[in-house]
């Protein structure tokens, strides 16, 4: 019997640098954030960059979001529902 479970993406152990740009896939691999965490981050002002059908994030924006969340300044996201395609 062949069980076809969805394989978890590989974790990438690297620091987030303020002067780098990260694709959605790489940022998720570095942080370990899933769909819900990414939706929450975007709802809390982590701004994506859309370019040629891909989604990117500035390292300095990610760091500011994480620092803000650690200081208790992250806002509660609205529950919009629907599939998360990175937009």
0.75 surpassed by pTM: no
Q: Is residue 84 part of a domain?
A: no
Number of independent structural domains in the chain: 1
Condensed to tens digits (0 to 9), the pLDDT of residues 38-63 reads: 999 999 889 999 999 999 999 999 99
Give domain status of residue 33, yes or no.
yes
The mean per-residue pLDDT over the stretch 79-83 comes to: 44
- pLDDT of 77 reads 47
**Token duo for residue 80:** 């919009």
On whether residue 64 sits in a domain, the answer given is yes
What b/e string do you get for 4-42 counting C-beta neighbours within 10 Å, with b at 16 or more? Answer: eeeeeeeeeeeeeeeeeebebebbbbbbeeeeeebbbbb
Residue 66 placed within a domain: yes
pLDDT of 31: 92
Domain containing residue 28: CATH number? 1.10.238
């Amino acid at each position: 019997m062949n069980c076809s479970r969805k394989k978890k993406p590989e974790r990438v152990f690297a620091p987030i640098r303020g002067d780098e740009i990260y694709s959605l896939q790489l940022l998720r691999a570095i942080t370990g954030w899933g769909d819900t965490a990414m939706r929450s981050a975007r709802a809390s002002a982590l701004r994506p960059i859309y370019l040629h059908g891909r989604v990117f994030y500035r390292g300095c924006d990610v760091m500011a979001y994480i620092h803000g969340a650690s200081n208790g300044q992250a806002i509660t996201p609205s529950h919009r529902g629907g599939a998360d395609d990175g937009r």
